[in-house]
Each structure stands twice: as structure tokens, then as C-alpha cells.
């Protein structure tokens, strides 16, 4: 007698003998819950420098200067630095005068000192006639008080030095010229308070006019600065005898220089 398993060559099995497989193939056990994938923290920061915010690039917030500003040659300023500068008590004018003269003008480099020396030796303007002694003694004595005058001196010296030696300081000449003209325009918006300030404005305008002669296609700028000199010199306060550019002062200095040569 054949067994049930041999009928028709079909193997029959009882449901109780072997377990049934579920659709999931995991033996009927429910799937384990997935572990949440850890997300990277939110790295957006509002502490970046102003230049990176303006250019809409991510600032690495390195101090004192971020990498982008160093690469682009920009002055890196952070919001915290501006706030601290505003909260810092300002020194009195007497303290600025006696203390570090660079506090009001910013920091000048050793390259700027080289330009200043070149100005004193040979690059100073030779106008007005008889004013050579004024350019190498009187004007350098108060140039540190006026930003526009200091940058004008350095601008002229850089252009002259580049013209005679091709030393590659033409870019510095333009940078100092831009700073000088910006500062001078701001100063001319109000009348001068002292004769020294009046002379500083005239000296800066003359230095910028002389620098124009060293610039490529600088004739238009030369004429502009000459008109500026006329406007400054045409002021009634500029005709006083206490000005270093007055006729009496120039004649006196010219006679002294002539006496020294005898």
C-alpha cells in the first residue's frame, strides 16, 4: 500500500509539520525600527566679517583676519571689533598730540617711512618759488596731524620714486592719492579752524598737483588740483601773513636761504 506522500508523485505536508514563511521572509517577526541618522549641526553664523557678508561668501571667522580678506588684500573687520571701537573711550586732543601720532592717522608701514624720507630728500614740490625750506622743515613738522597731508606727501613721493627708479611703488602711489583726496574733500567741507590747518590744506593740494605730473594721462587731474589750489588760496583767510605760503614768509625764507649759501 502506498503512502499519502507517494500518490501522484506529489509530496503532501501538514501545516503543523513545517512553518509557513511570511511575505517578509523574517519568520513573522516585525521589522526593527530604523535608527535616526545623525544630522550635522547648523553651522550658519552671523559672526563673519563685513567683507565676506558683502561678497556673500562663507567666512571662516579667523582672527584677526579671515582667509578671504587676506587673499583679496582687504581690511578685515568683524562686527565685534566695530562695537568695541565705538565703546572704547576716545583720548583727549592733548593726549593725541603728546602720545602716539599714529593714533589719529592709522598705522604707517616701514615702506611709508621710506617714501617720507624720499620726499624730504628730493621729491618735495619746488613751488611756490623760494619754498624749498618750508617743504623740508615746516610742513613735515605738522604733517602727522592731518591725514590728507600725510597721504599727499606719500603719494607724491611714491610716484616720483617710481618714475626715477622703477621700483614698483606705483600702486602705493595711487592708494595714497585716493586716501588723500577723500580726506581732503571731507576737510574742505568746513572752514579751517587754524592757520596751520589752512596751510596743511594748501600743501596737500600742491603735493597732489605735482603728483599728477608723474601719472599717465594726468593732465586733467593736474588742472583739477590747480583749480583746487586756487580755491584754497583765494580764501580771504589764506592771505594772512601768518601763513607759511604768504608772500612775506616766502621772501623771508628765500633771503635766509640766500644768506646761508653765501
Domain boundaries defined on the chain: 48-83, 105-261
Q: Which of 47-51, 116-120, 126-130, 216-220 has the lowest mean pLDDT?
A: 216-220
Q: Which of 191, 182, 104 is nearest to 148 (CA)?
A: 182
The architecture that CATH gives domain 48-83 is Irregular (4.10)
Distances (CA, A) of 112 to 39, 107, 109, 225, 245: 52, 10, 5, 23, 26
Average pLDDT on 207-221 reads 81
Q: What is the pLDDT of residue 64?
A: 80
pLDDT digits (tens, 9 = 90+) for 43-71: 566 677 877 877 778 888 888 888 888 88
Give yes or no for residue 256 having a pLDDT over 90. Answer: no
Instruction: Say which residue, 19 or 157, is predicted with more confidence.
Output: 157
* Per-residue H/E/C for 1-62: CCCHHHHHHCCCCCCCCCCCCCCCCCCCCCCCCCCCCCCCCCCCCCCCCHHHHHHCCCCCCC
d(CA 127, CA 108): 27
Q: What is the pLDDT of residue 114?
A: 93
22-26, 31-35, 124-128, range with greatest mean pLDDT: 124-128
Distances (CA, A) of 26 to 19, 31, 35, 77: 12, 8, 19, 62
Give yes or no for residue 123 having a pLDDT over 80. Answer: yes
Q: What is the pLDDT of residue 179?
A: 92
Amino acid at each position: 500500500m502506498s503512502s499519502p506522500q507517494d500518490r501522484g508523485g506529489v509530496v503532501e505536508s501538514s501545516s503543523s509539520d513545517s512553518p509557513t514563511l511570511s511575505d517578509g521572509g523574517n519568520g513573522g517577526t516585525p521589522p526593527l525600527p530604523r535608527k535616526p541618522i545623525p544630522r550635522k549641526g547648523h553651522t550658519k553664523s552671523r559672526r563673519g566679517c563685513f567683507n565676506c557678508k558683502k561678497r556673500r561668501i562663507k567666512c571662516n571667522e579667523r582672527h584677526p583676519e579671515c582667509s578671504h580678506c587676506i587673499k583679496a588684500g582687504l581690511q578685515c573687520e568683524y562686527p565685534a571689533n566695530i562695537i568695541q571701537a565705538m565703546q572704547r573711550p576716545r583720548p583727549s586732543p592733548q593726549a593725541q598730540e603728546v602720545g602716539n601720532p599714529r593714533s589719529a592717522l592709522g598705522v604707517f608701514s616701514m615702506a611709508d617711512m621710506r617714501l617720507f624720507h624720499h620726499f624730504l630728500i628730493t621729491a618735495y614740490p619746488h613751488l611756490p618759488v623760494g619754498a624749498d625750506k618750508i617743504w623740508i622743515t615746516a610742513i613735515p613738522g605738522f604733517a602727522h596731524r592731518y591725514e590728507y597731508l600725510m597721504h599727499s606727501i606719500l603719494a607724491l613721493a611714491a610716484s616720483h620714486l617710481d618714475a626715477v627708479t622703477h621700483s614698483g611703488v606705483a600702486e602705493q602711489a595711487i592708494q595714497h592719492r585716493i586716501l588723500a583726496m577723500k580726506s581732503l574733500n571731507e576737510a574742505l567741507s568746513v572752514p579751517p579752524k587754524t592757520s596751520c590747518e589752512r596751510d596743511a590744506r594748501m600743501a596737500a593740494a600742491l603735493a597732489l598737483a605735482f603728483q599728477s605730473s608723474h601719472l599717465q594721462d594726468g593732465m586733467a587731474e593736474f588742472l583739477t588740483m590747480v583749480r583746487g589750489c586756487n580755491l584754497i588760496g583765494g580764501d580771504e583767510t589764506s592771505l594772512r601773513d601768518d601763513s607759511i605760503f604768504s608772500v612775506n614768509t616766502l621772501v623771508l625764507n628765500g633771503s635766509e636761504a640766500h644768506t646761508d649759501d653765501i
